[in-house]
Amino acid sequence: MESFFVRYRNLLVLLSLLLVQIIGLAVQVRRIDAGRRSLDSADSSGVRLIRLWANAVVAPVERTVEHSKTGIGGFWKNYIDLRHVRQQNQDLEDTVDRLRLEQAALLEDARQGQRLQAILDFQQKYIYTTVPAQVIGSSGSDQSRVFYLDKGKGEGLAGDMAIITGDGIVGKIREVFPHSAQVLAINDQSSGAGVILETTRIRGILRGNAEGQPQIVGVLADQRIKPGENVLTAGGDRIFPRGLPVGVVEKVVNDPDRDGFINVVVKPAAHLDRLDEVLVITSTEPRFSPQQQKDIETSEELKSAEAAALAEQRKASAIMAERLPGLTDPNAPPKPADAKGANAAPPAPTAPVVPKIIPPQHPDRFTPGHAGQPEEQGPAAAPAPKTPASGASAAKPAQKPEKKEAAPGAATEPKPKSLPKPTPQPQRNE
């Protein structure tokens, strides 16, 4: 190393002097360049050469170091630091699936709660006693519309009990087990229910067809039956109470077996294909809520009060009638006295009341009761000759028959009509 400095001593000194001079010049000289003046806001008039040279020397190295740092950091974050990302991603996917299942369960619980609330409201308002039940299975056959309930004899169920929902009737119990029951739906071919059309009041029997649709069979053809008419239970089958909704008329088809008869296809009001909760009518005795029972008692009290007031009015009217004898009918038969003893004499019979006949103003021979009286004779009529009478009969004048006065109220019998006697003519002596 000493030989190098000794050997090139003059050259090194010269180069040092030149370097110092150049640095001095670079410190003193300013370069005005609009593109490079943005390096430092303080150099408003220009940038020194020493700074430009230093920037040109340091910038590539700094750029290389910065790019290396950025690349290394990205490689670390994107590869080395993400060695557990797959596991975290799997955990997140499992969490999302679990949350989806929980959301579906919550939605189903919410729907079930709404259905149960609707059934509870209907059960509270319904007049008959019902028992809620859950559908737990079906027959699994297209030809048989049968499903099963989770209630049986232990819960008070029996055969031929009606199954309904808040929308309409569903079916009837076919068989009962200790803790389950088999239900025959109304769209089964072997089912039957008495129904009536709401508007036309036509009655019929409801049963299912081969396609699983309920229809009213055995109905005479009637032009009044139109689609959209409501169908209700008639109550004659002693299973379904009267007035429950069955469905609406969907269409009318001709009976292929009998001429002049039709089959009325009914769209059921209850959703028979997606039943979950139903009600079983266990008693048809009317059941009233406490408020309704209170209203009935109040109505009975008002009726009894009105009846008592009416009885008091009748009693007062009877007392007033006894005190005012002028209000009684004088022609009415007397009332028999109350027999207080066993030997009381029976009331005497009274004669029937006969209305009084008003005499005519101008009687003639055709008037009843005046037929025997002779007609008035004129002045030209000749008097009848007198014949001598012998004996005591001639001495005594003819006595007029006494007229018997008729009893008051007795009917006057009409006298028989007598013809006038001919007048004898006097004989002439020739």
327 compared with 23, residue with greater pLDDT: 23
Question: Which residues have CB under 8 Å from 174's CB, separation 6+?
Answer: 146, 159, 182, 183, 184
Does the pLDDT value for residue 385 go beyond 90? no
With CA atoms as reference, report the closest residue to 414 among 342, 366, 346, 360. Answer: 366
Q: What is the pLDDT of residue 356?
A: 65
1 compared with 281, residue with greater pLDDT: 281
Binned at pLDDT 50, 70 and 90, residue 17 comes out as confident
Q: What is the pLDDT of residue 342?
A: 46
105 compared with 386, residue with greater pLDDT: 105
Q: Which of 145-159, 266-280, 294-308, 371-385 has the lowest mean pLDDT?
A: 371-385
With CA atoms as reference, report the closest residue to 203 among 188, 222, 189. Answer: 222
List where CATH 2.40.10.340 sits in the chain: 126-283
Q: Which CATH number fits domain 126-283: 2.40.10.340, 3.40.50.620, 2.30.30.140, 3.40.50.720?
A: 2.40.10.340
Binned at pLDDT 50, 70 and 90, residue 25 comes out as low
Does the pLDDT value for residue 246 go beyond 90? yes
Binned at pLDDT 50, 70 and 90, residue 41 comes out as low
Are 217 and 205 in contact, with CB atoms under 8 Å apart? yes
User: Mind listing the pLDDT tens digit for each residue in 59-100?
Assistant: 888 888 887 877 777 777 666 667 777 788 889 999 999 999
Binned at pLDDT 50, 70 and 90, residue 383 comes out as very low
User: Mind listing the pLDDT tens digit for each residue in 116-132?
Assistant: 887 787 777 777 888 88
The helix (H) or strand (E) run that includes residue 15 is helix 9-28
User: Mind listing the pLDDT tens digit for each residue in 336-374?
Assistant: 554 444 444 555 555 555 656 677 777 777 676 665 555
Token couple for 13: 């000194």
E-assigned strands of 98-142?
129-138
With CA atoms as reference, report the closest residue to 192 among 173, 203, 213, 206. Answer: 206
